């Protein structure tokens, strides 16, 4: 069965190296994530080279996503190792404390503005929400707290304020350096951490383009401010090429009880606004140490698939886990099981009224035919930029969408779109009828379609033109030119 939902895997010590990467590609990874929060530039460069070499050897199309660290607000270090905070104990976050002087009573913070942005009554959450502190007073550089929910606390754990509102700038100096690194690595996508609004995406895109980057921008939705207002979220989605539901920090800021509904809303809005969406964080967390997922994790992955996410992402599971290959295999099985459970040929209603471009109209018409015309086996989209297959992928269908393009960068970019399978194809110099026949012949050779099947084919009269798709044909295998 053709797997429509894509798999993103984070590379780390457990998955780096040609043999491990090759095995993960063979198991079905579509996109590899390079986490710029960890590792050196040389490490990331070596991994990117290995990914592309292994993919080429297997004849697979695999994209690379570079993930900026962003302004994660963190505590400093403890003098004698991890400490245990007891419920009811006093604990101080001090922005002026030496970075190595932390103990069970206080610890330094790497964000000088923290004291000015907190007030008595605020709730601060440390270590992804596992430790909860209530602010009792603020004096100078000191934020004096009472431990509400304690536990072990180690170096460099993150700090969030419940409800959001900490105003660290989205792009740090490290991020600006890593944007240049991402350009040198020729990543296909660049993910921006902790954007608050659309302007953050526009700023990152401008810096990325100025440095020579040509990849797409992914907005990681992980701040309460990003989802507090529907228009803010929509504008943020529209400013990016795709979004990531980064459930770790988002859940800490908005609360676990709100997360599921917000996740579903983000997926729904991304699809309606013609952007791709990745669902991430703790999807198969138990498989860091276990060869089998829990039933709850199976349900979590399956529900994201049923909601229409383009991709599901593995983080620590493949970066540092004990069973990275088993995790990818399990995720692929769960995706296929979920995709078998709904009537995939029933179209979903188009949420956004109005069509402003010919390629959008062609894409919608193609998907309508795919879902209603008997005998259709596949959709062929001849494309330069990948825009038409992206628009097609927003509408549910059981039909595979083959993106035929001569450009390697476009093939990698479309690899993340739900239901889209990229193929190398160059129609330059061919008459229209010859191009149709050559495209069908390639699919026949790969055993992707069968004689007598109906195919829907879209293409444009002009090449290298954004939005140039203006032609739709229904053709029959064996009679492709007419």
Using a 10 angstrom Cβ sphere, with 0-12 exposed, 13-18 middle and 19 or more buried, the burial of residue 445 is exposed
Averaged in consecutive runs of 10 residues, what is the pLDDT profile of the chain (482 residues)?
93 97 98 95 97 97 96 92 96 96 95 93 92 96 97 92 86 96 98 95 97 97 93 97 95 91 97 96 96 97 96 97 98 96 52 73 92 92 95 91 96 97 90 88 91 92 66 83 45
The 8-class DSSP code of residue 75 comes to B
pLDDT at residue 345 in the model: 42
Separation of alpha carbons 160 and 140, rounded Å: 20
pLDDT at residue 251 in the model: 92
pLDDT at residue 2 in the model: 86
Q: Give percent helix, percent strand, percent coil of the chain, each to the nearest 5.
A: 35, 25, 40
474 φ, ψ (degrees, to nearest 5): -100, 120
**pTM, entire model:** 0.91
pLDDT at residue 342 in the model: 61
pLDDT at residue 166 in the model: 85
Separation of alpha carbons 240 and 238, rounded Å: 5
Q: Which one, of 450, 478, 453, lies nearest residue 374 by Cα?
A: 453
Q: Which two tokens stand for residue 305?
A: 């698939």
pLDDT at residue 432 in the model: 82
Distance of CA 97 to the CA centre of its chain: 37
Q: At what angle do helices 247-254 and 256-272 cross, to 10 degrees?
A: 120
Looking only at the bridges linking them, the beta strands covering 131-139 and 123-126 are: antiparallel
Write the CA distances from 473 to 136, 206, 369, integer angstroms. 68, 38, 10
Looking only at the bridges linking them, the beta strands covering 83-85 and 63-67 are: unpaired
User: How many of the other CB atoms lie within 10 Å of CB of 92?
Assistant: 18
Task: State the catalytic residues.
Answer: 33, 74, 220, 281
Which helix H or strand E contains 45, and what residues bound it?
helix 41-58
């Amino acid at each position: 069965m053709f797997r429509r939902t894509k798999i993103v895997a984070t590379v780390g010590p457990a998955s780096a190296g040609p043999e491990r990467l090759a095995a993960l590609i063979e198991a079905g990874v579509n996109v590899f994530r390079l986490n710029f929060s960890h590792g050196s530039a040389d490490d990331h460069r070596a991994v990117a080279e290995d990914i592309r070499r292994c993919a080429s050897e297997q004849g697979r199309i695999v994209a690379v996503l570079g993930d900026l660290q962003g302004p994660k607000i963190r505590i400093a270090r403890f003098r004698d190792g991890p400490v245990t905070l007891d419920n009811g104990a006093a604990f101080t976050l001090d922005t002026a404390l030496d970075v190595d002087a932390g103990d069970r009573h206080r610890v330094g913070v790497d964000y000088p503005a923290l004291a000015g942005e907190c007030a008595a009554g605020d709730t601060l959450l440390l270590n992804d929400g596992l430790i909860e502190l209530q602010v009792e007073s603020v004096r100078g550089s000191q934020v004096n707290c009472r431990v509400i929910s304690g536990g072990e606390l180690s170096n460099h754990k993150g700090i969030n304020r419940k409800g959001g509102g900490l105003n660290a700038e989205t792009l740090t100096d490290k991020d600006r350096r890593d944007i240049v690194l991402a350009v040198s690595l020729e990543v296909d996508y660049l993910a921006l951490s902790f954007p608050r609004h659309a302007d953050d995406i526009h700023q990152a895109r401008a810096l990325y383009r100025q440095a020579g980057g040509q990849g797409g921008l992914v907005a990681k939705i992980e701040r309460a401010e990003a989802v507090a207002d529907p228009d803010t979220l929509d504008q943020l989605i529209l400013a990016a090429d795709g979004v990531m539901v980064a459930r770790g920090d988002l859940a800490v800021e908005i609360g676990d009880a709100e997360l599921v509904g917000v996740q579903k809303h983000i997926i729904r809005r991304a699809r309606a606004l013609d952007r791709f969406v990745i669902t991430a964080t703790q999807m198969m967390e138990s498989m860091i140490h276990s060869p089998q997922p829990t039933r709850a994790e199976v349900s979590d992955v399956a529900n994201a698939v049923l909601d229409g996410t383009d991709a599901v992402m593995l983080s620590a599971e493949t970066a540092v886990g004990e069973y990275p290959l088993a995790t990818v295999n399990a995720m692929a099985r769960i995706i296929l099981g979920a995709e078998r459970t709904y009537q995939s040929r029933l179209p979903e209603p188009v949420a956004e009224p109005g069509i402003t471009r010919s390629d959008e109209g062609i894409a919608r018409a193609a998907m309508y035919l795919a879902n209603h015309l008997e005998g259709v086996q596949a959709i062929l989209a001849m494309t330069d930029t990948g825009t038409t297959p992206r628009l097609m992928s927003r509408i549910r269908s059981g039909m595979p969408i083959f993106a035929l393009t001569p450009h390697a960068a476009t093939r990698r970019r479309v690899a993340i779109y739900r239901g889209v399978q990229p193929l190398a194809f160059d129609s330059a110099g061919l008459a229209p009828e010859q191009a149709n026949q050559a495209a069908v012949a390639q699919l026949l050779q790969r055993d992707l379609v069968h004689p007598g099947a109906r195919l829907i084919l879209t293409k444009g009269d002009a090449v290298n033109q954004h939005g140039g798709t203006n032609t739709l044909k229904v053709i029959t295998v064996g009679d492709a030119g007419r």
